Amino acid sequence: MNVLVVGCGSLGGVIAVRLAGRKGLRLEVLNRNPRIAEAASGQGLRLRAGGRWHTARVPLAAAPLHPPYDAVILAQKANGLEQTCRELLPALAPRGFFLTTQNGLVGLELARSLGEERVVPGCVLWGASMTAPGVYRLTASGPFLLQAGESQPLSEARALLSRVFPVKPCPDIAAALWSKLAISASFTSLGAISGLRFGRLAAAAEGRRLILAIGEEVLRAARSQGVEPGALGGGLNVRRFLQPAEEGGYRAARKHLLLRLLGWKHRRTESSMLDSLRRGRPTEIDFLNGLVVRTAERAGLPAPWNRAVCSLVGEMERGQREPGEANLAELAALAGADGHAR
């Protein structure tokens, strides 16, 4: 099988190290970062996982070397993803497919525009970071979620990934992606705004209230699309977690306790959006909270908390604001000023 991984950042690097050297698989990685290329050609790509170092020699290139590809794993951010797909479409084998890993719904949108036989949307429940060029760390364990089904691209994607990752087929990948969006739009975005690691964010009552306020808007936006977010693995039922207690959701005390536990589990995780801001890169805000605002507005629903998040992250992207804990109070004021505060 001829496989191309696009992007050699946190996620792409881990996928590449895991797939490298597997029998019957020819792997290439598309990389545009010269420091990662230098590291790969020197010591190789290195991954710290399960208390051990794994090193792999992986061919990195700035352009595809050996098309056609049976599978192209898209491990770049959502920004520019559609353009990448259009450029790589001629490099796909006749029955080849793209596999998406992005948070947000861009994988579903690509499947709609390029066809379900060409795009397999994935939902990544594990986490990774790149600690130095070409050096990776697994920050959270968890499976790849893929839509259950037996179509040719789904079966091949499942067979490929399950060689090196736990893969969980799920009945509704759209529901899974919305559930994950509730987490990214709250934890990831608030982690960027506040500069706090997830543990400190969820340890503070104000942080937990903001996470819930943002998440409730995500739930309402999902429902406006006829999607019911549900269990996401690890026992977390996102719907019961986010909907009000009187509608069958968990009681407030339980929500706060669960958030503290979730924060503790991921206490050392820093927001990947914070990393993008520090590196002066555009964030995925438009594909996360921005998408929630657009979806809610189309359905005539208010989304002041997600709108306020977009506004603060926009200021940070333009260099008008620095990450800091004080931004959390400002976020609450901004959402309140929108006339819809809770």
Ligand X SMILES: NC(=O)c1ccc[n+]([C@@H]2O[C@H](COP(=O)([O-])OP(=O)(O)OC[C@H]3O[C@@H](n4cnc5c(N)ncnc54)[C@H](OP(=O)(O)O)[C@@H]3O)[C@@H](O)[C@H]2O)c1
Q: Please report whether residue 224 would count as binding ligand X according to CB under 6 A.
A: no
Q: Which residues pair with 55 in a beta bridge?
A: 46
Which one of residues 18, 19, 39, 77 is an interface residue with ligand X (CB under 6 A)? Answer: 77
**Beta strands in the chain, from DSSP E residues, in sequence order:** 2-6, 26-30, 45-49, 52-56, 60-61, 69-74, 92-100, 119-124, 127-132, 135-140, 144-147, 167-170
Which one of residues 124, 145, 176, 182 is an interface residue with ligand X (CB under 6 A)? Answer: 124
CA distances from 271 to 266, 267, 276 (A): 11, 11, 9
Q: Please report whether residue 75 would count as binding ligand X according to CB under 6 A.
A: yes
Distance, CA of 298 to chain centre: 24
Which one of residues 84, 162, 224, 237 is an interface residue with ligand X (CB under 6 A)? Answer: 84
Q: Please report whether residue 128 would count as binding ligand X according to CB under 6 A.
A: yes
Question: Closer to ligand X at the Cβ: 96 or 143?
Answer: 143
Question: Closer to ligand X at the Cβ: 85 or 303?
Answer: 85
What is the Rg, in whole angstroms, of the alpha carbon atoms belonging to the chain? 20
Q: Please report whether residue 31 would count as binding ligand X according to CB under 6 A.
A: yes
- State in angstroms the smallest separation of the CB of 101 from ligand X: 5
Which one of residues 1, 22, 26, 32 is an interface residue with ligand X (CB under 6 A)? Answer: 32
Question: Of 74-82, 145-153, 193-201, 256-264, which part binds ligand X (CB under 6 A)?
Answer: 74-82
Which one of residues 4, 102, 216, 304 is an interface residue with ligand X (CB under 6 A)? Answer: 102
Which one of residues 5, 78, 181, 292 is an interface residue with ligand X (CB under 6 A)? Answer: 78
Which one of residues 5, 6, 40, 293 is an interface residue with ligand X (CB under 6 A)? Answer: 6
Alpha helices in 171-303 (DSSP H): 173-183, 189-194, 198-203, 205-224, 238-242, 252-265, 272-278, 289-298
Give CA–CA dist 42/53, Å, rounded. Answer: 16
Residue among 149, 107, 144, 181 at smallest CA distance from 15: 144
Question: Per CB under 6 A, which of residues 137..166 are in contact with ligand X?
Answer: none
Which one of residues 121, 127, 191, 323 is an interface residue with ligand X (CB under 6 A)? Answer: 127
Q: Which positions lie near ligand X, rule CB under 6 A? A: 6-12, 30-33, 75-78, 80, 84, 101-103, 124, 127-128, 130, 272, 281, 284
